[in-house]
């Protein structure tokens, strides 16, 4: 049945557009008449960064029984470093015990074939044969390219970070599930930790823990903890009341109910949370190397600094393969229906056999069985670097012409336009839009957040950051949206896309700098291109997934009435999936803001550059303020796009019910 949109349904949208235009015009005219509403006066800026720097320094210097807070935290960090170093040594070079006049006593490391066998058995037990194959492929890769030691150091760091994060997140989640007030307090804390760039609080961590492995561990735990705490709280709150009542009837104490009933019932959700924190810990590997962690992240960073880009790329792919192997294994562990898992009896039998072989290899005194090869079996670094240099030389002229045209014709004019935007009319526009989409309180809050960028002297840098994300998103949409449409309507292409995007999206963000540095050097344009490349994979994936979620009966109805593929796509599938497409667009924008700080390493200017300056100068207040500025842009964008997506989704649902 055909539905006709009435004037009452059209009026609210027309009124919104008309009211928004009128208010923005009035605000702009007012700003033109009174210049402080156009450009925020420097004398009005609040020096919040100086205040925060002083407050943090005063707290760090606070003395307790003759020891400052910094002394205490660094003493604790030295103890925390011991088990991590011990695990890393046990997997690489051996554990040094002590030395005296008679010589040194050192325990040999776990033989590398035994490490592969133990890990493979565990993957087979938890995730089945597919996980075993992935793990074996990962080890083959790191052995072929001489990355064993770096991989084991990264593994030890990730294990320590995941263990601490899991315990901390589980404990906080349990408490939040019991106390509503604590849950309400922690939610904005989670949001802040997940929206403020990690670089913004690196300076704070460095003040407390200094450069080194524990500072990297603290940064990883702060970054990865919120998903585990949220997953735990949601899982425990979702436990059926019937199970709790049954536990009470059986005489269980609250502690027994928690550990014998609620946590086992929430097993799958908790495993999903554990998988998330593992992926986040791996994504932090390179950032952690900036403040003292070693391993694969240090290899990537060293390769970028020395322009040995092939070595950086090989180490980046090792991180990606490790992430995919762990992700697939943990997903299969959470899924009881996974086939070809190793049974418990077979697992323990094989485990005992590997233990015996490990002792045999340890006492064989054969270094080739104990220490993994340190040199690459296939030497590709010089070859690929030479090929990249040759390609860059041949393509440099054409790329320079295109880059110059783009910068002068598109990038610079749009950047100047963004810098010329007046703060007050923009704040009014955001407030009116937020008011209409989610109510007056939401609108006033969003307007206040945008105003805070001007009040704290961040307006110009914020507009530069927003410009990079918006332009990169537009360019990625131009390329990725048509590709996503093709993939979404082709089953074979969709299967290929899933594999490719899985690999691309697990690559460390620093790896995306490699192609732009090779092709364009450093500067604003390479930074923009890095964000474009980073956003392509999620845009293609979200577009394809949105199309494939269109109900089958709508597609069949379009075919029955004689629609060709073009009409079916643009008149049925795209309008129906518009809400999901907006949510995908929102996720892409969030990823773009997350990538900003990385692009500052190749010349991007804006709030992301301020965060790096804060880390270099150890100014925690400045870093926090710049990070909050990026968080404001991300939160405002997220709020508006999610509200718009819900409106479109609601309109689609109403039209389907009316049809």
Per the domain annotation, does 190 fall within a domain?
no
Per the domain annotation, does 590 fall within a domain?
yes
Which residues are CB-neighbours of 421 under 8 A, at least 6 positions away?
463
**Distance from C-alpha of 284 to C-alpha of 85, rounded to nearest angstrom:** 18
State residue 649's pLDDT score.
59
Which tokens hold the place of 497? 């896309």
What are the helix and strand counts (H, E) for the chain? 32, 4
**Distance from C-alpha of 206 to C-alpha of 218, rounded to nearest angstrom:** 10
Query: Which residue bears the tokens 């007046």?
Result: 422
Residue 545: which of 571, 522, 579, 520 has the closest Cα?
579
Q: pLDDT tens digits, residue range 254-283?
A: 888 888 888 888 887 888 788 888 888 887
Per the domain annotation, does 463 fall within a domain?
yes
Domain of 655, CATH number, reads 1.10.3720.10
Distances (CA, A) of 585 to 381, 644, 652: 37, 11, 18
Look at the chain and report how many structural domains it folds into: 1
**Distance from C-alpha of 525 to C-alpha of 517, rounded to nearest angstrom:** 10
**Distance from C-alpha of 330 to C-alpha of 123, rounded to nearest angstrom:** 9
Strand partners, 99: 104
**Distance from C-alpha of 117 to C-alpha of 415, rounded to nearest angstrom:** 55
Residue 472: which of 517, 406, 419 has the closest Cα?
406
Per the domain annotation, does 109 fall within a domain?
no
DSSP designation for 93: T
601: domain range?
458-659
DSSP designation for 68: E
**Which H/E stretch holds residue 397?**
helix 381-406
Buried b (16+ CB within 10 A) or exposed e, 245-264: eebeeeebeeeebbeebbbe
Residue 127 has a CB neighbour count (10 Å cut-off) of 28
State residue 5's pLDDT score.
44
Q: pLDDT tens digits, residue range 90-100?
A: 777 777 666 65
Per the domain annotation, does 587 fall within a domain?
yes
Per the domain annotation, does 255 fall within a domain?
no
**Distance from C-alpha of 137 to C-alpha of 133, rounded to nearest angstrom:** 6
Per the domain annotation, does 258 fall within a domain?
no
Which tokens hold the place of 160? 């320590």
Which residues of the chain have a pLDDT value below 50? 1-12, 656
Per the domain annotation, does 472 fall within a domain?
yes
Does the predicted TM-score (pTM) go above 0.85?
no
Which tokens hold the place of 426? 């923009």
DSSP designation for 108: P
DSSP designation for 335: -
State residue 246's pLDDT score.
86
State residue 464's pLDDT score.
92
């Amino acid at each position: 049945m055909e539905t006709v949109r009435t004037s009452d349904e059209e009026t609210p949208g027309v009124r919104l557009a008309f009211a928004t235009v009128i208010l923005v015009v009035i605000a702009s005219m007012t700003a033109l008449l009174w210049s402080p509403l156009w450009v925020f006066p420097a004398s009005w800026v609040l020096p919040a960064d100086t205040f925060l720097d002083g407050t943090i320094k005063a707290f760090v210097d606070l003395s307790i029984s003759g020891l400052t807070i910094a002394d205490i935290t660094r003493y604790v960090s030295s103890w925390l470093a011991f088990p991590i170093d011990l695990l890393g040594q046990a997997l690489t070079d051996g554990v040094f015990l002590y030395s005296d006049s008679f010589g040194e006593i050192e325990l040999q490391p776990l033989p590398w074939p035994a490490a592969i066998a133990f890990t493979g058995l565990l993957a087979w037990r938890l995730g089945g044969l597919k996980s075993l194959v992935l793990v074996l492929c990962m080890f083959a890769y790191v052995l072929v390219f001489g990355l064993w030691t770096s991989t084991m150091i990264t593994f030890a760091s990730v294990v320590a970070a995941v263990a601490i994060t899991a315990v901390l997140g589980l404990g906080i989640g349990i408490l939040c599930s019991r106390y509503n007030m604590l849950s309400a307090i922690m939610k904005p804390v989670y949001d802040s930790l997940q929206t403020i760039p990690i670089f913004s609080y690196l300076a704070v961590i460095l003040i407390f823990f200094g450069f080194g492995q524990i500072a990297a561990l603290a940064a990883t735990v702060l970054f990865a903890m919120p998903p585990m705490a949220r997953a735990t709280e949601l899982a425990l709150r979702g436990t059926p009341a019937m199970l709790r009542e049954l536990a009470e009837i059986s005489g269980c104490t609250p502690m027994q109910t928690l550990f014998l009933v609620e946590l086992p019932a929430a097993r799958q959700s908790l495993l999903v949370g554990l998988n998330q924190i593992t992926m986040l810990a791996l994504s932090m590997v390179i950032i952690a190397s900036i403040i003292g962690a070693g391993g694969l992240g240090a290899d990537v960073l060293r390769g970028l600094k020395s322009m040995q880009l092939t070595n950086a790329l090989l180490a980046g792919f090792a991180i990606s393969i490790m992430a995919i192997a762990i992700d697939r294994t943990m997903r299969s562990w959470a899924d009881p229906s996974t086939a070809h898992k190793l049974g418990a009896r077979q697992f323990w039998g094989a485990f005992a056999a590997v233990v015996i072989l490990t002792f045999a290899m340890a006492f064989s005194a054969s270094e080739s069985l104990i220490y993994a090869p340190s040199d690459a079996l296939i030497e590709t670094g010089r070859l690929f670097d030479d090929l990249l240099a040759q390609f860059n030389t041949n393509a440099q002229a054409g790329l320079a012409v295109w880059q110059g045209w783009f910068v002068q014709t598109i990038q610079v004019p749009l950047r100047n336009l963004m810098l010329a935007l007046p703060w007050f009319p923009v704040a009014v526009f955001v407030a009116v839009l937020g008011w209409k989409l989610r109510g007056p309180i939401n609108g006033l809050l969003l307007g206040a957040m945008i105003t805070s960028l001007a009040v704290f002297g961040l307006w110009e840098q914020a507009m530069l950051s927003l410009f990079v994300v918006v332009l990169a998103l537009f360019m990625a949409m131009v390329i990725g949206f048509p590709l996503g449409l093709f993939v979404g309507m082709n089953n074979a292409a969709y299967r290929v896309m899933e594999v490719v995007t899985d690999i691309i999206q697990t690559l460390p963000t620093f790896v995306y700098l490699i192609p732009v540095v090779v092709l364009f050097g450093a500067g604003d344009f390479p930074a923009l291109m890095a964000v474009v490349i980073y956003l392509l994979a999620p845009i293609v994936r979200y577009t394809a997934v949105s199309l494939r979620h269109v109900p089958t009966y709508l597609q069949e109805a379009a075919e029955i009435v004689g629609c060709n593929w073009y009409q079916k796509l643009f008149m049925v599938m795209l309008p129906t999936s518009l809400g999901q497409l907006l949510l995908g667009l929102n996720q892409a924008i969030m990823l773009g803001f997350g990538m900003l700080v990385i692009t500052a390493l190749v010349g991007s200017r804006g709030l992301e550059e301020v965060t790096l300056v804060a880390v270099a100068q150890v100014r925690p207040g400045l870093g926090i303020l710049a990070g909050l500025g990026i968080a404001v842009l991300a939160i405002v964008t997220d709020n508006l796009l999610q509200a718009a997506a819900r409106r479109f989704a609601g309109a689609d649902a109403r039209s389907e019910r009316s049809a």
